[in-house]
């Protein structure tokens, strides 16, 4: 809800951009008028000189040095008498130029897609998860180069998955690559970044399964262990290995974005112990990274609520609550977050709302109210 309020506020702010730009143009026009006024005063000063004094402008200065000095002294006195107007003109001109030069950084609207293809994202998540797949495709559509670090288990089971990805970093479209969460996969990714020095790893998205988790009160320890190991711990190991290679500095930090399926844990729903465990681990990883790498990385956590793809809920389906549109509730906020460093108004918005995002229906309410939040209330927001 806080993000919605900020969106309304900054939406009104963006509507003032045209007015401010027009003000900048008017400022420059006013400065031009003052310059013309100053020139007019100078011309009048020349007209006030006698024919003899004007003639001295074109004669040998060695012969008429004294009269020439007197002439320029008179001109200087007249200009000095209007020095206040002259200073105002110079100041307004400088202000107008500064306003025009900073418009892109301060007030420019967020583009629908990147203008180049040098921004790289790494997604630690299972591409077979509908939410992860939708997010990856959305980022690719906006012209990011996306690497997806795949799981080693078949989605939703404990069985090995088919080799459906390309491990030698070749891609039909040149924009989405798949790598294994092992030493060879990481080495290939690091080699790719070294070979393309013009490209920058902008963000790492830590996306555990968001659409499916085994549930029930008779889950085997093996199933729980496999789910946590393949879905969480393997990815965290990848993250720890990559950060030393790509962590930035105080002025150009690497973004770490943790996606937390915390709704069932906040509501304290029974028979969803795996989701509770995953949510707790994600919160712990987020806090650990904030402490250990805050000087090198910007660390964020995104609480995931009920999201809908094609009108149907794709997360927390067992709640029977219609999900919010995934493009507006998740993809757009994540896109804004990734680009927030380049836009002053987005940085201000992020600073006001903090490092925690709430994406999807019920994500904010359940985080604030916990198990006291009734399910019928989720349909109202």
Contact 184, 152 (CB under 8 A): no
138 with 272, same domain? yes
235 with 350, same domain? yes
232 with 354, same domain? yes
Q: Is the pLDDT of residue 12 over 50?
A: no
231 with 289, same domain? yes
37 with 127, same domain? no
Last residue of a domain, one of 77, 107, 137: 107
Q: What is the mean pLDDT of residues 76-102?
A: 61
Model pLDDT for residues 169-199, shown as the tens digit of each residue: 445 455 789 998 888 888 999 999 999 989 9
Residue showing tokens 């999807």: 360
Contact 132, 126 (CB under 8 A): yes
| Contact residues for 34 (Cβ-Cβ < 8 A; gap 6+) | 85, 86, 88, 89, 92, 93
Q: Is the pLDDT of residue 286 over 90?
A: yes
Its pTM stands at 0.70
Give domain status of residue 290, yes or no. Answer: yes
The more confident residue out of 349 and 203 is 203
The count of structural domains within the chain is 2
d(C-alpha 151, C-alpha 127), whole Å: 9
d(C-alpha 298, C-alpha 256), whole Å: 6
Give domain status of residue 70, yes or no. Answer: yes
42 with 177, same domain? no
Sign of CA dihedral 148, 150, 154, 156: negative
d(C-alpha 132, C-alpha 125), whole Å: 7
- Supply the pLDDT for residue 165: 39
d(C-alpha 317, C-alpha 324), whole Å: 12
Model pLDDT for residues 100-134, shown as the tens digit of each residue: 555 445 556 778 888 888 899 999 999 999 999 99
Weakest mean pLDDT among 60-74, 192-206, 223-237: 60-74
Torsions phi, psi for 122 (to 5 deg): -115, 125
d(C-alpha 362, C-alpha 381), whole Å: 7
Give domain status of residue 198, yes or no. Answer: yes
- Count of residues in the chain: 381
> What integer best gives the mean pLDDT of the chain?
76
Confidence of residue 335 (pLDDT cuts 50, 70, 90): very high
Q: List the domain range (segments joined by +) for residue 367.
A: 119-378
What CATH number does the domain containing 320 carry? 3.40.50.720
Model pLDDT for residues 303-314, shown as the tens digit of each residue: 999 998 876 777
Model pLDDT for residues 26-56, shown as the tens digit of each residue: 555 655 665 565 566 556 555 555 555 555 5
202 with 317, same domain? yes
| H/E element, 202 | strand 200-207
Give domain status of residue 113, yes or no. Answer: no
Confidence of residue 258 (pLDDT cuts 50, 70, 90): very high
- Tokens standing for residue 154: 């078949």
């Amino acid at each position: 809800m806080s993000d919605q309020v900020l969106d309304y506020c900054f939406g009104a702010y963006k509507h003032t951009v045209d007015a401010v730009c027009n003000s900048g143009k008017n400022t420059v026009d006013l400065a031009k008028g003052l310059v013309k006024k100053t020139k007019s005063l100078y011309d009048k000063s020349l007209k006030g000189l006698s024919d003899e004094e004007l003639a001295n402008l074109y004669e040998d200065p060695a012969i008429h040095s004294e009269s020439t000095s007197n002439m320029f002294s008179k001109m200087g006195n007249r200009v000095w008498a209007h020095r206040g107007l002259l200073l105002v003109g110079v100041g307004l001109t400088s202000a107008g130029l500064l306003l025009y030069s900073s418009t892109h950084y301060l007030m420019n609207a967020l583009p629908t897609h990147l203008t180049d293809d040098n921004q790289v994202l790494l997604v630690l998540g299972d591409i077979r998860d509908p939410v992860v797949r939708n997010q990856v495709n959305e980022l690719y559509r906006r012209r990011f180069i996306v690497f997806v670090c795949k799981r080693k288990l078949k989605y939703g089971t404990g069985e090995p998955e088919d080799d459906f990805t390309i491990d030698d970093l070749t891609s039909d479209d040149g924009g989405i690559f798949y790598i294994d969460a092992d030493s060879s996969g990481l080495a290939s990714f690091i080699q790719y970044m070294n070979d393309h020095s013009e490209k920058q790893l902008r963000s790492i998205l830590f996306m555990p399964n968001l659409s499916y988790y085994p549930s029930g009160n008779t889950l085997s320890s093996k199933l729980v262990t496999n789910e946590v190991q393949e879905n969480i711990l393997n990815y965290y190991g990848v993250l720890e290995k990559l950060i030393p290679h790509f962590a930035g500095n105080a002025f150009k930090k690497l973004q770490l974005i943790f996606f937390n399926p915390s709704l069932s844990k906040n509501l304290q729903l029974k028979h969803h112990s795996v989701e509770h465990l995953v949510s707790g681990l994600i919160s712990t990883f987020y806090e650990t990274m904030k402490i250990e790498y805050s000087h090198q990385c910007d660390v964020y956590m995104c609480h995931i609520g009920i999201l809908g793809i094609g009108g149907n809920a794709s997360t927390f389906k067992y709640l029977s609550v219609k999900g919010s549109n995934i493009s507006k509730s998740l993809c757009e906020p994540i896109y804004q977050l990734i680009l927030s460093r380049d836009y002053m108004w987005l940085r201000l918005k992020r600073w006001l709302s903090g490092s925690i995002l709430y994406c999807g229906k019920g994500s904010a309410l359940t985080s604030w109210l916990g198990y006291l939040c009734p399910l019928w209330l989720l349909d109202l927001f």
